[in-house]
Amino acid sequence: DAKTTQPTSMDCAEGRAANLPCNHSTISGNEYVYWYRQIHSQGPQYIIHGLKNNETNEMASLIITEDRKSSTLILPHATLRDTAVYYCIVRVASVGGADGLTFGKGTHLIIQP
Amino acid sequence: DTAVSQTPKYLVTQMGNDKSIKCEQNLGHDTMYWYKQDSKKFLKIMFSYNNKELIINETVPNRFSPKSPDKAHLNLHINSLELGDSAVYFCASSQGGGAGTEAFFGQGTRLTVV
């Protein structure tokens, strides 16, 4: 799986959009970008994933650059409950496979009241 | 209903003991995993089971052994516990590894070896 680079920490004001960047310059054509987060003392939680196109769900939006070398996770209206460590993971979505997730250090997002 | 549940939530034990952590998922998934999160907060995969076969076994000591009595359960047995085994252990499940696969994690078991 390709390596990812994320800022160690970020602050965002409550109610504003939180934009979390991720660099994955060595991503290959069959690798997806996944985002998970881990709220303190809880298990990781899936947020969103994408291959080429931008994606949106009830939690967040994922913007992937055209060259796929970087992406941004957007939490449109951050709340205090969004304070967590956010992990950007690049992996091959192999059919029938079960290769698990490789977590990096992630970005500690702190939402300020 | 909790999708992935682990028991116990906390486990304190002495060095040299043997212990087990249980995991159950009610999502009907065919793949289950165990992850370890150490004191520096790094999350690393330990095992995964797919259709009762071990798919991944990372560089984990053979004191650790996953056991799956059925598709909904993947228990973690640890023999001869050592101080360095102290960590938070997370169980997870997913439906295969195809596109759109998302993993669901349990709440973790904090193991403290004294």
Helix (H, G, I), strand (E, B) or coil at B59: coil
Which residues from chain B sit within 8 angstroms of residue A44, using beta carbons? 43, 90, 92, 103, 105
Residue A77 is predicted with a pLDDT of 95
User: Nearest-CA residue of chain A relative to B55?
Assistant: A98
CB-based contact B47:B34 (threshold 8 Å): yes
Q: Is the dihedral of CA A55, A58, B97, B45 positive or negative?
A: positive
Asked if B4 lies within 8 A of A43 by C-beta distance, the reply is yes
Of A41, A85, A93, which has the smallest distance from its Cβ to B101's Cβ? A93
How sure is the predictor about B95, in pLDDT bands with cuts at 50, 70 and 90? confident
The CA distance from B101 to B35, in Å, is 17
CA distance, residue B58 to nearest chain A CA (Å): 11
B35-94 pLDDT tens trace: 999 988 889 999 888 876 787 676 889 999 999 999 899 999 999 999 999 999 999 999
pLDDT of residue A8 exceeding 60, the answer is: yes
pLDDT at A30: 85
Among B45, B98, B104, the residue with its CB nearest the CB of A100 is B45
**Number of A:B CB contacts under 8 A?**
77
Under the banding of pLDDT at 50, 70 and 90, the label for residue A95 is low
B90/A98 Cβ within 8 A: no
Please, what is the Cα angle at B30 between B2 and A34, to 5 degrees?
75
Q: If you ran DSSP here, which 8-state letter would residue A53 be given?
A: S
Interface test with B, best of A101, A102, A105, A108 (most B CBs within 10 A): A101
> Nearest-CA neighbor of A84 among A100, A60, A65?
A60
Pairing of strands B109-113, B10-13: parallel
pLDDT at position A97 is 55
**Quick one: which H or E segment has residue B39?**
none
The length of chain A in residues reads 113
Q: Which of A83, A73, A82 is nearest to A24 (CA)?
A: A73
